[in-house]
Structure 1
Amino acid sequence: MSGKNEGRLSRRAVLGAGIAAAGAVAGGLTATPVHAKEPTLLYDRQDWGARPPRGTIDIIGPPTAIVVHHAVWPNTMDFSWERAALTSREIQDLHMDDNGWKDAGQQLTISRGGHVMEARDRSFEAIRQGLNVMGAHVGGHNSYTIGIENEGTYTDPDTVVPSGQFGSLAQTCAWLCERYGLDPHQAIAGHRDFNDTICPGEALYRRLPELRDRTARLLAEW
């Protein structure tokens, strides 16, 4: 997510056939069976060491669109949990200190290693209620969108989106569509569909039809 467009419940939930499995995971965290359809690698703000927001983050009504972003961040090959946590802290610092926002602008962040992070405060709390928090990721459209920031820079159409990241993105979109009762073929969009920007980059944007289809298949399986 380029430019200056202006929760915390589980440590991680494991996707399974209707059963959430508990066990030891990366970084010493523990899987918590909260909702069987949540993404496999799911972490809240406490996990990655988020700063408190600079003001209240309001819970609002459910979104009608899921907006895919790229972070314009290095295309690291470090797919570790530690790297994912560091990236979340760096993005929050950028948004709060450079952009002057009250918190990270997007609701969720997905690392190149496929870790799904709660970005904006109270996002998990809201999603699990079928609601949303007011974000700061799509200028003029934040009241009805939920944003997913993807670590990396995908401007070059030949850049490869890591399979783990794309898989987690599909799981996340399916989770959100299930929570909000959305049709993935109608709801999933790129940042450039709303604002004058190259985000989420050509390599990721051209895979949105595939993402919609993959999300729909997951919903059908569930």
Structure 2
Amino acid sequence: MVRRRTLLGGVAASGLLLGFGAIPARASLLPVRTCADWGARPPSSPTTVLRQRPVRILVHHTATENVTDYSEAHAYAHARWIQDHHMDDNGWLDSGQHFTNSRGGFLMEGRHGSLDALHAGDRIVEGAHCPGQNSIAIGIENEGLYTTEEPRPDQWDSLVSFCVYTCEQYGIAPTEIDGHRDHYADTQCPGDKLYAALPRLRQEVARVLG
């Protein structure tokens, strides 16, 4: 319970107990680490901020090793690796996803400006996580490969917490939490196990939101 309360930070203070807990009066601040916190490079060109609310959340997995290092230091290093891959190999201006959720349950801003936009609740930074969805869907990467195993409890709890806050901020219905493969045929993301858990994710988010 100590780990969960540490993870939730300000959200727990507002009455939110994740996953199987009580319904809050209102989801509050999330402990999302900023790009500056994890040492992100600056974007190669300015990001595009759209004055519109996203209509859904897209859940991804990074399809990387299911490591047993659950530390904050590893989470930060992995975020830097993703950004380097997206910028140097894919030629994108920044990390493609809006947010990242590590194996240890550390939530991090992905593309610069995404956290400020989320807190404002009235805008979205255009991403690069799914063709046709980058200006209307919030993309969250979950570190790991979830074809044959499910996310760890800490990672699952932080995903629920993130979705609760994001749905509330943007007025997104829990039914609009989808997998990457729902909107892009040429992928198995977020893996069969995590994809099969999405109905439970929607239910848990809906229960917390009441």
The equivalent residue for 2:182 is: 193
For the residue of structure 2 that corresponds to 1:47, the secondary structure is coil
C-alpha distance after superposition, 1:38-74 (max 9, x if no partner): 33x4211111000000111111111001000000111
The equivalent residue for 1:216 is: 206
Aligned length: 191
TM-score by length of 1: 0.82
The equivalent residue for 2:132 is: 140
- Poorly superposed stretches of 4+, deviation over 2 Å: 16-20, 35-39
Structure 1: segments with no counterpart, 5+ residues: 1-11, 21-34
Which structure carries more relative contact order (alpha carbon 8 Å, separation 6+)?
Answer: 2
What displacement does 1:170 show?
A: 0.4
The letter for the 2-side match of 1:85 is Y
For the residue of structure 2 that corresponds to 1:205, the secondary structure is helix
1:16 paired with 2:12, answer: yes
Task: State how far apart, in whole Å, the 1-side matches of 2:151 and 2:119 are.
Answer: 28
Task: State how far apart, in whole Å, the 2-side matches of 1:38 and 1:181 are.
Answer: 16
The equivalent residue for 1:28 is: none
1:92 paired with 2:83, answer: yes
Task: State how far apart, in whole Å, the 1-side matches of 2:130 and 2:47 are.
Answer: 16
Conservation of the 8 A alpha-carbon contact between 2:57 and 2:137: yes
The letter for the 2-side match of 1:211 is L
For the residue of structure 1 that corresponds to 2:194, the secondary structure is helix
Name which of 101, 118, 129 aligns with 1:127: 118
Task: State how far apart, in whole Å, the 2-side matches of 1:104 and 1:112 are.
Answer: 18
1:168 paired with 2:158, answer: yes
Name which of 181, 185, 192 aligns with 1:202: 192
Task: State how far apart, in whole Å, the 2-side matches of 1:200 and 1:138 are.
Answer: 12
Q: CA RMSD in A?
A: 1.7
For the residue of structure 1 that corresponds to 2:10, the secondary structure is coil
Task: State how far apart, in whole Å, the 1-side matches of 2:29 and 2:206 are.
Answer: 15
Task: State how far apart, in whole Å, the 2-side matches of 1:36 and 1:216 are.
Answer: 13
The equivalent residue for 1:27 is: none
Distance 1:36 1:207, change over 3 A: closer
For the residue of structure 2 that corresponds to 1:175, the secondary structure is helix
For the residue of structure 2 that corresponds to 1:214, the secondary structure is helix
Structure 2: segments with no counterpart, 5+ residues: 1-7, 17-25
Task: State how far apart, in whole Å, the 1-side matches of 2:75 and 2:182 are.
Answer: 27
The equivalent residue for 1:149 is: 141
What displacement does 1:17 show?
A: 4.1
For the residue of structure 1 that corresponds to 2:37, the secondary structure is helix
What displacement does 1:16 show?
A: 2.3
Conservation of the 8 A alpha-carbon contact between 1:171 and 1:218: no
The equivalent residue for 1:52 is: 42
The equivalent residue for 1:5 is: none
The letter for the 2-side match of 1:97 is D
What displacement does 1:36 show?
A: 5.6
Conservation of the 8 A alpha-carbon contact between 2:27 and 2:168: no
For the residue of structure 1 that corresponds to 2:140, the secondary structure is strand
Conservation of the 8 A alpha-carbon contact between 1:38 and 1:172: no
The equivalent residue for 1:7 is: none
TM-score by length of 2: 0.87
Conservation of the 8 A alpha-carbon contact between 1:114 and 1:166: yes
Conservation of the 8 A alpha-carbon contact between 1:79 and 1:111: yes
